[in-house]
Every structure is written in C-alpha cells, then in structure tokens.
Amino acid sequence: MAFKGRVEIDRERCKGCHLCVRACPTKVLAPSDSPNSWGYYPSNQVAQEKCIACGNCFMVCPDVAITVYKLEGGSDA
C-alpha cells in the first residue's frame, strides 16, 4: 500500500508554470480555472484522495509554492 498525502499550494506564490501537474504520477493537480491576484492561473488540487506523498510536485516547483504532507496511517508495506 502506498503512502497517503496532502498537497498544499500557495496560490499567490504560484506563477502557473504547471510543471507540478506534469510531474504528478497520480494526477492530483490540474490548472486552476481562476487567476490569483497576479493574473496567473495556479495549479489546483483536483483529486486529493489520490495523493501518495511522492514529492515530485514539490521538487519541480521553481517558486517553492508547494508543501507535501505525509499523512499518518499510510504505509509502504
């Protein structure tokens, strides 16, 4: 069983490059339909229950706008 996770995106820090959307193996993220205060369309969580806390999105984010949390109860065994 894979780990369960939660992704938090700082909408104001995200410039909408969507590298995280492409890096997510379980398709948790997608571009938002609404812009932030800078006019960018940041990434958005669309399937949080699928998150496996792999950290790919965090590692590719050039703006350090993503935090990944590993939730209790998940295991890799």
> How many domains is the chain partitioned into structurally?
1
Residue 33 is assigned to a structural domain of this protein? yes
Q: What is the mean pLDDT of residues 56-68?
A: 97
75 within some domain: no
**pTM: predicted TM-score of the whole model, two decimal places:** 0.85
Over residues 5-55, the pLDDT tens digits come to 999 999 999 999 999 999 999 999 999 999 999 999 999 999 999 999 999
Residue 74 pLDDT class (50, 70, 90 cuts) = low
Instruction: List CB contacts of 72: < 8 A, sequence separation 6 or more.
Output: none
For 13, the domain range is 5-70
What's the CATH number where 46 sits?
A: 3.30.70.20
Q: What is the pLDDT of residue 69?
A: 95
Residue 48, in any domain of the structure:
yes
Burial of 43 (0-12, 13-18, 19+ CB in 10 A): buried
The answer to whether residue 77 sits within a structural domain is no
Residue 66 placed within a domain: yes
Note the pLDDT of residue 77. Answer: 46
